[in-house]
C-alpha cells in the first residue's frame, strides 16, 4: 500500500509541484532516498531553466568526467542505498567494482589519507569546512578517477550520489580540468540533498550528520548494517525530508536576497 502526497516547494527560481507515492507501512531510510533525489533533480531543472533564460548554458556533457576526481561526500542513507545497489549487481560487475575499490583504497592508504577519511566518516560531531578543505585538496591532488568510473562514464549513474547530480557548471568545460586553480561557475543549488538526508537521519537516530567519503561508503555501510535495518512509517520519513528541505530553501531565499 502506498499513500500519495502532493508536494509544493517554493524555490528561489520557481515553484516545484509534484506527486509522491510513499509506502504506508514501516520502511528503512533507503526507501526515501530516491524520493529525495527526485525532488532535488526537479529543483535543479528549475535552476537550469532559469539559467538558460538568462542566456547561460550548462557545460556538462556525457563523457565529461573531470569532476570525478573530487572527493564526494555521502550521507548515511545514501551509503546504505549504495550498498544495496551494489549487492544486487551481477556477480561479474560487482567483483570488478569491488576490485577497483580495493585498488583505490590501497592508493589512498599510500597517500596517507585513508585514516583521515575514516575519521571523517565516524566523526561524533559536524566537521568544519576549514578542517575538511585540506583533506579535499590532498585527495584531489591525487587526480584519482572515482572507483565507480568506467571509460570516463559513471557505472552507477542511476544510483550516483546527490553531490554528483548537483554539480553543474556554466563556465567553459575546459576550466574543470583543474578545479583547484580555475574559477568555475557552478549552477546554484537551493537544497543539498545529501545534507538534507544526513540531517534527517541524524534527527531520526539522535546521531551526528555523517559525511562519508565515497571510496569507503560500502565499508562504512557494512560496519553500520544494524542501523540500516531500522524502520519508520513512510509518512514520517517524508515529513523529515521535507522539513529539512524547507529549511534549506529558506536559507537559499535569504542568501540570494542578500546578493541582489
Domain ranges of the chain: 2-259
- Parallel, antiparallel, or unpaired for β 212-213 and 26-28? unpaired
Q: What is the pLDDT of residue 24?
A: 87
| Burial tier of 212 (Cβ tally within 10 Å: 0-12, 13-18, 19+) | buried
Q: What is the pLDDT of residue 257?
A: 81
Is the CB of residue 243 less than 8 Å from the CB of residue 2? no
Give the Cβ contact number of residue 103 at 10 Å.
12
Distance in angstroms (rounded) separating the CA atoms of residues 210 and 202: 8
Which pTM was predicted? Answer: 0.95
Q: What is the pLDDT of residue 107?
A: 97
Is the CB of residue 4 less than 8 Å from the CB of residue 19? yes
Q: What is the pLDDT of residues 140-171, one digit of tens each?
A: 999 999 999 999 999 999 999 999 999 999 99
Distance in angstroms (rounded) separating the CA atoms of residues 198 and 204: 10
Distance in angstroms (rounded) separating the CA atoms of residues 140 and 201: 28
CA–centroid distance for 81 within its chain = 11
Is the CB of residue 75 less than 8 Å from the CB of residue 210? yes
Q: What is the pLDDT of residue 209?
A: 83
Q: What is the pLDDT of residue 122?
A: 95
Distance in angstroms (rounded) separating the CA atoms of residues 256 and 260: 7
**Residue 260 binned pLDDT confidence (cut-offs 50, 70, 90):** low
Is residue 89 scored above 80 in pLDDT? yes
Q: What is the pLDDT of residue 153?
A: 93
Identify the DSSP state of 188. P
Amino acid at each position: 500500500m502506498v499513500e500519495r502526497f502532493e508536494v509544493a516547494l517554493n524555490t528561489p527560481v520557481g515553484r516545484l509541484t509534484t506527486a509522491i507515492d510513499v509506502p504506508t507501512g514501516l520502511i528503512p531510510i533507503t526507501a526515501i532516498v530516491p524520493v529525495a533525489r527526485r525532488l532535488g533533480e526537479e529543483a535543479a531543472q528549475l535552476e537550469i531553466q532559469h539559467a538558460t533564460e538568462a542566456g547561460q548554458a550548462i557545460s556538462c556533457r556525457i563523457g565529461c568526467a573531470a569532476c570525478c576526481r573530487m572527493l564526494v561526500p555521502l550521507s548515511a542513507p545514501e551509503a546504505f542505498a549504495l550498498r544495496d545497489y551494489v549487492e544486487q549487481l551481477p556477480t561479474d560487475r560487482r567483483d570488478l567494482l569491488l576490485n577497483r575499490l580495493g585498488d583505490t583504497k590501497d592508493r589512498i592508504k599510500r597517500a596517507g589519507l585513508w585514516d583521515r577519511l575514516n575519521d571523517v566518516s565516524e566523526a561524533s560531531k559536524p566537521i568544519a569546512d576549514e578542517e575538511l578543505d585540506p583533506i579535499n585538496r590532498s585527495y584531489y591532488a591525487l587526480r584519482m578517477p572515482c572507483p565507480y568510473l568506467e571509460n570516463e562514464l559513471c557505472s552507477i549513474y542511476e544510483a550516483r550520489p546527490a553531490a554528483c547530480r548537483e554539480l553543474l557548471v556554466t563556465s567553459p568545460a575546459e576550466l574543470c580540468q583543474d578545479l583547484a586553480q580555475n574559477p568555475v561557475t557552478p549552477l546554484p543549488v537551493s537544497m543539498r540533498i545529501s545534507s538534507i538526508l544526513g540531517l534527517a537521519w541524524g534527527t531520526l537516530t539522535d546521531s551526528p550528520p555523517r559525511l562519508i567519503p565515497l571510496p569507503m561508503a560500502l565499508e562504512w555501510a557494512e560496519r553500520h548494517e544494524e542501523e540500516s535495518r531500522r524502520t519508520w512509517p513512510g509518512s514520517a520519513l517524508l515529513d523529515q525530508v521535507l522539513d529539512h528541505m524547507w529549511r534549506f530553501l529558506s536559507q537559499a531565499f535569504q542568501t540570494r536576497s542578500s546578493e541582489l
